[in-house]
């Protein structure tokens, strides 16, 4: 049995515990979480990151909107063409019947018109069904991409806020400890940049059951090791778990 203690909510005040992610998104998040990038982030970099990610979202949504608009316009043009052809044929048949002056011809025209109308309705219905199917396929295709982008944006925003407001790290550490201390003594591994803040926080709280260690492989947040397993309180760890859960509930 895996020794992993899972948290139940994803907020800055409560960590999530992960096992692993066997999907592309997990690997992408790990590749993007290098130490140099987060550690060297300042306020200007944070704003630039947010601006770039907003541009990515706008471009992706515009692309989806343009594709949907193209499909709708094509369907409308096809329906309009069918209607115009039906009207032209009706007018032709009426004129022929009137010129001939025969009731039989007029009746034949009416019958032909009814057939044209039914064919027109069938073609319009088929065009509408094709448009609905294309719309559903487009949404299905875009959902995983939008989810990946949303997780990436969330990660950048959280890291930027932690850089701009370092005191927020205390909430993340405290939530992790509240969960981990239920099982006994804890070894708390933190990023070198968070070490002093965490030690000061524990001294203020008079917490003596926690041993703090520096771990260069850990980004913002912490990892708590207990006698019964591990509680992952890192930002990346929580976002990976959320991404994993969301991908599982997306329709096939």
- What is the domain range of residue 76? 48-135
CB atoms within 10 A of CB 246: 16
184 lies in the same domain as 110: no
Q: Structurally, how many domains does the chain consist of?
A: 2
Output the domain CATH number for residue 227.
3.30.2320.30
172 lies in the same domain as 128: no
**pLDDT tens across the length of the chain (252 residues):** 434 433 333 334 444 433 333 444 444 444 444 444 444 445 666 677 777 777 777 777 777 677 767 777 776 777 677 778 777 877 887 777 666 655 666 666 677 777 777 888 888 888 888 888 887 787 777 777 777 777 677 666 666 666 655 667 777 788 788 877 776 788 889 888 888 888 888 888 777 788 889 998 887 778 888 888 888 877 777 777 777 776 666 555
Secondary structure of residue 231 in the 3-state scheme: strand
Q: How far is CA 64 from CA 110, 111, 138, 153, 242, in A?
A: 45, 44, 8, 19, 25
| CB-CB contact of 6 with 16 (8 Å) | yes
Residue 150 lies in a domain: no
Residue 151 lies in a domain: no
Residue 239 lies in a domain: yes
109 lies in the same domain as 55: yes
56 lies in the same domain as 107: yes
State CA 226 to chain mean position distance.
Answer: 33
Tell if the pTM clears 0.85, that is, is over it.
no
C-alpha span between 122 and 146 (Å, rounded): 36
């Amino acid at each position: 049995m895996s020794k992993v203690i899972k948290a139940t909510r994803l907020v800055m005040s409560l960590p999530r515990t992960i096992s692993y992610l066997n999907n592309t998104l997990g690997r992408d998040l790990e590749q993007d979480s290098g130490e140099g990038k987060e550690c060297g982030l300042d306020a200007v970099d944070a704003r630039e990151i947010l601006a770039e990610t907003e541009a990515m979202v706008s471009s992706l949504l515009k692309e989806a909107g343009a594709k949907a608009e193209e499909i709708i316009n094509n369907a409308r043009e096809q329906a309009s063409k069918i209607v115009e052809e039906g009207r032209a044929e009706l007018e032709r048949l009426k004129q022929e019947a009137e010129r001939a002056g025969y009731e039989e011809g007029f009746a034949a025209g009416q019958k032909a018109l009814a057939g044209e109308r039914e064919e027109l309705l069938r073609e319009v219905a088929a065009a509408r069904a094709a448009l609905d199917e294309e719309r559903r396929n487009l949404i299905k295709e875009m959902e995983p991409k939008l989810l990946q982008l949303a997780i990436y944006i969330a990660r950048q925003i959280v890291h930027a806020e932690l850089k701009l407001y370092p005191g927020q790290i205390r909430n993340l550490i405290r939530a992790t400890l509240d969960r981990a201390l239920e099982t006994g003594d804890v070894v708390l591994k933190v990023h070198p940049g968070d070490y002093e803040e965490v030690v000061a926080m524990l001294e203020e709280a008079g917490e003596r059951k926690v041993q703090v260690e520096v771990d260069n492989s850990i980004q913002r947040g912490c990892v708590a090791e207990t006698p019964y397993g591990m509680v992952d309180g890192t930002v990346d760890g929580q976002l990976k778990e959320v991404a994993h859960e969301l991908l599982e509930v997306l329709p096939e």
